Amino acid sequence: MFGFIRPVKPELRMREVERFQAVYCGLCHAIREQYGHLHTLSLSYDMVFLALVLGCLEPDEPATVRRRCGVSPVRSKPVCLPGQGLWRAADFSVLLTWHKLGDTLLDEHGAKYLAAKTMRALLKPGYDKACARLPEENTAIAACLAELYALEQAKTPSIDQPADAFARALVMAVPHMDEMTMRILRQMFYHTGRWVYLIDACADLAEDWQAGAYNPVALRFQLEAPSLAPVREDMEITLQRSLADIFCAFQLLDVRRDQGLLENIIRLGLPLVTRQVLDGTYQSNGGQNRHGSL
């Protein structure tokens, strides 16, 4: 995914910072154990959020141990052992990465095309394994992203239609459980996916404009220059609506752990990224560019 979903570190307690890092490292180790080192390149804050949400509903909290890895070979770090939520986040991360590379093959040429094709070939065994674990989810994700690609090719002047297609793909991360919890999670993940798609479109406006690529924000508002200034208020309203729906759904969940950390992400982190993208100050990974850093 994209890495937009992250907490605001200064507002976290120390134990919450450590917990986030432990789940981040736990997801990395789970992906590596199940699919190999190369697939850990798909690790993102977005999938850590998914793991935290699914994990907060589990009756038993997985243990935390200290482990070393290639990124931290000398100093061991706290690592959350995988429960069902972490395993599902690992599987889903592999599937989304594969399909995202497929989208790159359709959109790019030259060096980027060759790089994506090579990476996809290397990741094929892991993708096949993830398909075997989540066959229905993979089929649904592929259908949603094919619909999204068709909308992009048609240069659909709408922000809602392509955002809906991407959001429905993210909904497939919801596992089978009791009906009420599934309905709540589907609502929560739908609006998370919608927000991610639209905030990414806003962040990529200048790059898409220069490349002549599809951008729903530019087409919907018939922008005459690659600037969000004329539509900042309108986009903030639609993005904040999704954030409100995410939080309302979260409040209905039977949260067993990590409530403060998740509320930080939803109530502070997502609104902060929204403001930063819309005013042009957003930096990927908080401008730190370090593995797992906050």
Q: What is the pLDDT of residue 291?
A: 46
Tell me: the pLDDT tens digits for 162-191? 999 999 999 999 999 999 999 999 999 999
pLDDT tens track for 28-43? 999 999 999 999 988 9
Percent of the chain having pLDDT more than 70? 96
**243-293 per-position pLDDT tens digit:** 999 999 999 999 999 999 999 999 999 999 999 999 999 987 654 444 445
Among 89-98, 105-114, 198-207, name the one with the lowest average pLDDT.
105-114
> pLDDT by residue (tens digit) across 95-115?
999 998 988 888 778 888 899
Q: What is the distance in angstroms between the CA of the first residue and the CA of the last residue of the chain?
A: 17
Q: For 72-89, write each residue's pLDDT tens digit.
A: 787 889 999 989 999 999
pTM here? 0.93
Provide the 10 A C-beta neighbour count for residue 151: 19
Q: What is the pLDDT of residue 62?
A: 86
Query: In the block, which residue shows the tokens 């989208």?
Result: 103
Average pLDDT, the chain: 92
Q: Which two tokens stand for residue 292?
A: 């797992």
What pLDDT, on the 0 to 100 scale, is given for residue 285?
60
Task: Choose among 89, 100, 271: nearest CA to 189.
Answer: 89
Percent of all residues in the chain with a pLDDT value above 90, rounded to a whole number = 83
Mean pLDDT of 22-28: 95
**Nearest C-alpha neighbor of 49 from the set 234, 165, 225, 191:** 191
| pLDDT at res. 288 | 44
